[in-house]
Amino acid sequence: MQLNTDLYKMISKAQITEQLPEIRTWYEHLHAHPEPSFQEKETAAYIASGLKKMGLEVHRLPQNAVMGYLQATNAIGTIGLRAELDALPLHEQTNVNYISQNTGTMHACGHDLHMACALGAAKLLSAHKANLKHNVLFVFQHAEEKIPGGAVAVIASDFFKSHKPDVMLAMHSFPDLKAGEVGFRSGPYMASGDEVDVHIKGPGGHAAMPHKTVDTVLTAGQVLVALQQIQSRFIPTEIPSVLTFGNICAESVMNIIPREVLLEGTFRTMNEKWRKKALKQIKQIVQNTAKATGADAETVIRPGYPTIENDKNVTAKIENIATKLLGSKNIHLLPLRMTTDDFGYYAQKIPSAYFRLGVADSNGRSAGLHTPEFLPDPKALETGVSLLVQIIQNY
């Protein structure tokens, strides 16, 4: 198998290697200074300052997002690359010397890695404006982790609209693959995620006299059971979907039937049409199951991120470049993920690809995303930067 055929048009492997120590410095700085969603002030300033030094046109949103525009002299189009600024409310449990300095906040989803790779690509590519086929819009987006998601504000911004990419990309850490490996998937890849609150209400009363009231706790139980049919009977079997209520709460005592029971859940699916239909059906099942016991019910849906549907052509194109760079043995077909990412908003408007960068060690070991022990293998930095550079210069 011959690798690297017709890659490295402008930027050589040696140039990337030379850039790595600085990228590593950025990564460690970002890891040590995590900030929560919607509070990424210092991170945004750090990124903006870096992009400016590289000569990019920098635009900042009041919500913290930073966009860096690299204009190619003879561009045939624009490629957008999304990285994320925000960290998670976790107490880091690693022993690296660049451990989080902001106790209780941690980059446990690899956003530090993604930012460092994007900065590295920006630096390397910024020296080649004259020869690049595409402009590049580097989007360092705030608040990926928190509804309504920073993507909404970015997409709505005038700067994004006036520099709108023809293709949108996001590279995200993936502990199921080793550093050096990457994964792609055409079509639906990650789920939509909506928050579903169900309030079951009644007049309340004494536990010994349920006939004088409505048993809201029992009704909540019946609603939970009835809602299983959303997945098992209502949505087509081939569309992965899951409805789970992680919380149930009555705030009562054993002998008082409460006036309200709250169910808090999440509904996820991979098809926007059936997402809408299912949310309507959830309300209908709740309403009528409650009606059967005489309870009142209110279903409040807080719409979350949409499904990420990877464009077939974009995915094929970048997978082809990745295969040339890394060899087909390091390229994986990603399994479907029922987790969510607000990158779905870009994918709804622009042909997009969300692909995964392996971060496990050479034995395939890694703590999970969103755990206090998460720590990408540093080798992933090199793979990440190389891949971004090659995708952009070869797209």
Interface residues with a copy of itself (CB under 8 A)? 191, 193, 195-197, 206-210, 215, 217-218, 220-225, 228, 242, 244-258, 261, 263-266, 268, 338-339
Cis omega (within 30 of 0) for bond into 372: no
How far is residue 138's CA from residue 149's CA, in Å, rounded to a whole number?
17
* 109 annotated as a binding-site residue: yes
- Of the pair 152, 217, the CB lying nearest a copy of itself is at 217
Question: In Å, what is the CA distance from 204 to each residue of 85, 217, 218, 251, 288?
Answer: 47, 10, 12, 12, 20
C-beta closer to a copy of itself: residue 84 or 260: 260
**Minimum gap (Å) between residue 246 Cβ and a copy of itself:** 5
The residue among 84 and 194 lying less far from a copy of itself, judged by its C-beta, is 194
The answer to whether 199 is a known ligand-binding residue is no
d(CA 350, CA 308): 11
Q: What is the chain's alpha carbon radius of gyration, rounded to the nearest angstrom? A: 24
**Most distant pair of Cα atoms in the chain: their distance:** 81
| Shortest reach from residue 269's CB to a copy of itself, in Å | 11
Q: Which is nearer to a copy of itself, 136 or 257 (CB)?
A: 257
The smaller minimum CB distance to a copy of itself, of residues 244 and 288, is found at 244
- CA atoms of 201 and 219, how far apart (whole Å): 9
Taking the least distance from each CB to a copy of itself, the nearer of 81 and 191 is 191
Which whole-number Å values give the CA distances from 4 to 1, 322, 333, in the listed order? 10, 9, 20
Is 370 annotated to bind ligand?
A: yes
Q: Which of 377, 380, 394, 382 is nearest to 323 (CA)?
A: 394
**Residue 108 or residue 263: which is nearer to a copy of itself going by CB?**
263
Q: Both tokens of residue 150? A: 């920073």
332 is in an annotated binding site: no
Neighbours of 11 (CB within 10 A): 22
Pair of tokens at residue 236: 């087509």
Q: Rounded to an integer, what distance in angstroms lies between the CA atom of residue 347 and that of residue 43?
A: 25
Specify whether the CB–CB gap between 153 and 160 falls below 8 A.
no
Supply the angle between the helices 379-394 and 13-32 in degrees, to the nearest 10: 120
Binding residues for Mn(2+): 109, 111, 145, 172, 370
